[in-house]
Amino acid sequence: MRIDHTAAIVTGGASGLGAATAAALAKQGAQVFVLDLAAGEAAGETGDTGPGSITYLTADITDGEAVGEAVATAVASGAPLRTVVNCAGIAPSMRVLGKKGVHDLALYAKVVQVNLIGTFTVLALASEAIARTEPDEHGQRGVIVNTASVAAYEGQVGQAAYASSKGGVVGLTLPAARDLAQYGIRVCAIAPGIVETPMLATISEEFRAGLAAGVPFPQRLGRPDEYAQLALAIIEHDYLNGETIRMDGALRMAPR
């Protein structure tokens, strides 16, 4: 599917995976609309966007009304909404039963609310708008790329909430693809391993080197631009649908 002269939505696009993806889509000629709680902070940092553009919208992906307004803004751009990449998420850590007691139930619910229900909210409301666009010559209207994690398969100690939410994203992928097939909308997911994002910026270089040493090959952390590269490949590859693709250097996570 073509990217140029279309509109795209990227959630969590103020930093990390989302920022790299938004920049890559803009350089391919898309009008990109970033949904992020930190959109105001990122708006002044946009560099060369190439032939496309990036518009930052402050929105909470768990707020259906706010998401609907953001989707309407993208539609109002005049370019057909073709692409959605869901990158927004949170990753707190807590054991089911730890030294301080039982896992905070509200925290568990929040992680699922943001990572899974937020992803579904954007997917559902955006797909409604995409379904109203004119299809291309191949009957395609759009593609949605969600972000899972290798934790969906090998959740570590302290990742009960995070792994649950990302496992839900994996489980959502195929039925969503089947539901939206009649509208010419594809759905895939990317399951990254350990990627060099702002979440890792606070840990020591020594600890990061230890994480990289556990990756079979290439023995380093992943990069946000590699996520963006894979997202664009999925968008442009018309026969990829209903699949979750691991991007992890053959990493299989140990218990801790």
Q: What secondary structure, in 3-state letters, does 56-123 show?
A: EEECCCCCHHHHHHHHHHHHCCCCCEEEEEECCCCCCCECCEECCEECCHHHHHHHHHHHHHHHHHHH
Given the residues 56, 108, 162, 227, the one annotated as active site: 162
Does the structure show a pLDDT above 90 at 36?
Answer: yes
Q: How far apart are CA 81 and CA 30, in angstroms?
A: 10
Angle between helices 64-75 and 118-130 in degrees, nearest 10: 30
Q: Has residue 200 got a pLDDT over 90? A: no
- pLDDT surpasses 90 at 247: yes
CA distance 191 to 111: 17
The encoded tokens of residue 152 equal: 């969906």
More confident residue, 45 or 221: 221
pLDDT tier at 123 (50, 70, 90 boundaries)?
A: very high
User: Per-residue confidence at 48, pLDDT binned at 50, 70, 90?
Assistant: low
As to burial, measured by CB atoms within 10 angstroms (0-12 exposed, 13-18 middle, 19+ buried), residue 138 is exposed
Q: Is the model's pLDDT at 122 over the cut of 70?
A: yes
Closest-CA residue to 70 (of 26, 22, 11, 146) = 11
pLDDT tens figures, 143-175: 999 999 999 999 999 999 999 999 999 999 999
Least confident of 58-62, 105-109, 182-186, 198-202: 198-202
Percent of the chain clearing pLDDT 70 (strictly above): 97
- Residues 33-46, mean pLDDT to the nearest whole number: 81
Q: What is the pLDDT of residue 44?
A: 62
pLDDT at 202 > cutoff 70: no
Mean pLDDT score of the chain: 94
The predicted model scores a pTM of 0.94
* pLDDT(211) > 70: yes
**Residue 121 confidence (pLDDT) above 90:** yes
Cα–Cα distance measured from residue 204 to residue 59, given in angstroms and rounded to the nearest whole number? 32
Q: Determine the CATH number of domain 7-246.
A: 3.40.50.720
Catalytic site includes residue 162: yes
Q: Which two tokens stand for residue 8?
A: 């795209």
45 has a pLDDT exceeding 70:
no
| Residue 209 clears pLDDT 90, i.e. is over it | no
Average pLDDT, integer, range 127-153: 97
- On whether the CB atoms of residues 59 and 35 are closer than 8 A, the answer is yes
Contact 143, 32 (CB under 8 A): no
The phi and psi torsions of 27 (rounded to 5 degrees) equal -70, -20
Distance CA 140, CA 148 (A): 24
Q: Which residues pair with 247 in a beta bridge?
A: 192
Tell me what the mean pLDDT of segment 24-41 comes to: 94
**Mean pLDDT within 189-202:** 86
The sign of the CA dihedral 84, 88, 91, 92 is negative
Q: How many CB atoms lie within 10 A of CB 37?
A: 13
Structure confidence at residue 47 as a pLDDT band (50, 70, 90): low
Tell me the longest C-alpha to C-alpha distance in the chain: 59
β-strand 185-192 against 142-147: which pairing, if any? parallel
